[in-house]
Amino acid sequence: MISESVDGTFRNQLDTLTEKFTDDFRRGDAEACALAYAADAIRIEPGMPPSTGRSAIESVIALGMSNGIAISRFETMQAAADGSTGFALMKVVTNHGDAFVMLGLKRESDGRWLVAAEAIVG
C-alpha cells in the first residue's frame, strides 16, 4: 500500500533510486550504488557489523558483488513520507533468494530523497 500523499515526488524518486541502484549493481559499480545513501547513512544486514557512512556502505556493497550476488529487482510493498522523512518496505529478489529491506529515507536540502538507514532481513 502506497500512501496517497506520497504518490508523486517521493514515490517517483524512490522508484528511480531503486532502479538506478539495481542498474549500478548489475554493472558492478559499488561507488555509484553508494550514492543512493546519505553521507551519514547506516546499513545493517545479517552476519555483518553495521556499516556507517557512504564509504563503509560502498565497501559492503562491493563485497556482495565479489561474492556473486546478483539483484533482479526491488518490489515496493509499502512506502510513505511526511515532510523530510520517509520509509519503504521492499522485497529484493536476488540469485541467493529473496530478502526484505526496510529503508528510512531523508529528503536532502536540494529535494532529493536518499537512504538514511537500511536494515536487511535475509
Mean pLDDT of each 10-residue bin along the chain, 122 residues long: 52 95 98 98 95 98 96 96 95 95 95 96 86
| Amino acid 7: pLDDT | 46
Enumerate residues 6+ apart whose C-beta is below 8 A from 67.
none
Residue 41: its pLDDT value, please?
98
Q: Which domains does the chain possess?
A: 4-121 (3.10.450.50)
- Burial tier of 46 (Cβ tally within 10 Å: 0-12, 13-18, 19+): exposed
CA 87 to chain centre: 10
**What's the pTM value of the predicted model, to 2 decimals?**
0.90
Tell me what the pLDDT averaged over the chain comes to.
92
Question: How confident is the model at residue 9, as a pLDDT?
Answer: 83
pLDDT of residue 8: 60
